[in-house]
Amino acid sequence: MWNSSGEHEHLCLPPNQKERPELQPVIFMLFLSMYLITVFGNLLIILVVSSDFHLHTPMYFFLSNLSFLDICLTSTIIPKMLLNIQTQSKVITYEGCMTQMYFYMLLLALDDFLLTVMAYDRYVAICHPLHYTVIMNPWFCRLLVLVCWSISILHSLLHSLLGLRLFFYTDLQIPHFFCELNQIVQLACSDAFLNNIVIYFASLLLAGGPLAGIIYSYSKIVSSISVMSSAKGKYKAFSTCASHLTVVSLFYCTSLGVYLSSAVTQSSQSSATASVMYTVVTPMLNPFIYSLRNKDIKGALKTLALSTLKGTLPLGMKEYS
């Protein structure tokens, strides 16, 4: 059986790639490039938000937190995957697998909650503009982020502790490129009934709940925008939500694709492909979505670039109001 001192075979590449070694250098460079773009793109968002006092607002405070989470999420998976390709080793220790799974679930849940908080922020800004600064004050924003962290930590810890009670064969092979919870539970040789029950209920509460909150927030936003008399006001209100809606759509469509592909087709290849989308592609695209569709971010980027060329740092390192 697989225990705390054992190791198991880990397919760190999408299925079928291990049988085509000539593609491994190409895949290595592809994922390395995507990882570097993700890290530097999200770091740039954090730097821009922190350096421009015009962006010291709740919306950009949450955006910088989202960028930090995206960096951490990809960093729990891609470096190990790149190391395995480079060393031609597809082995991960029991402790390494459990650690990777814990942080993966933690950061994925945090992403979900933070997107919900950002939707609530847009709801308050559009539906209650006169009370926005009072409701979304710095203390309340930090409290929201703290609550997101607390729930996510407890959620991930619960699954990890339940995972420790499972037993596996020593030569276990995971048909995935990282230790994903559903794949691990399906491969257990001991009774995983309790694990499956917890997974289903947690998915319903921690995925359905935030999604319901996002849908409710945007239903109110659409209602408020529809009664505006000015076309310019409607466009301005909608433009503040466009980037967030795009990110939410990417996140939920790719996440849903993982579980549908696992449940319907039982294909590890389709599940791995969908997982690549929301663990690698979506975090990489987020900085582009927010920078290309956001005048404030583009303006701050220009200011930062000009300040860097002149050898000075932009002013405004103060707390958002």
pLDDT at 275 over 80: no
Domains annotated for the chain, with CATH where assigned, are: 7-309 (1.20.1070.10)
Query: Rounded to the nearest 5°, which phi and psi values hold at 284?
Result: -70, -35
How much is the pLDDT for 52?
82
pLDDT tens-digit readout, 107-135: 999 999 999 999 999 999 999 999 999 99
pLDDT tens across 33-54, in order? 999 999 999 999 999 888 888 8
pTM comes to 0.83
Q: Using CA of residue 118, residue 119, residue 122, residue 124, what is the dihedral sign?
A: negative
**Tokens in use for 59?**
């919306």
What pLDDT, in 10s, does the model give residues 143-198? 999 999 999 999 999 998 888 888 776 666 676 677 878 778 877 787 788 888 88
282-292 vs 231-260: helix crossing angle, rounded to 10: 180
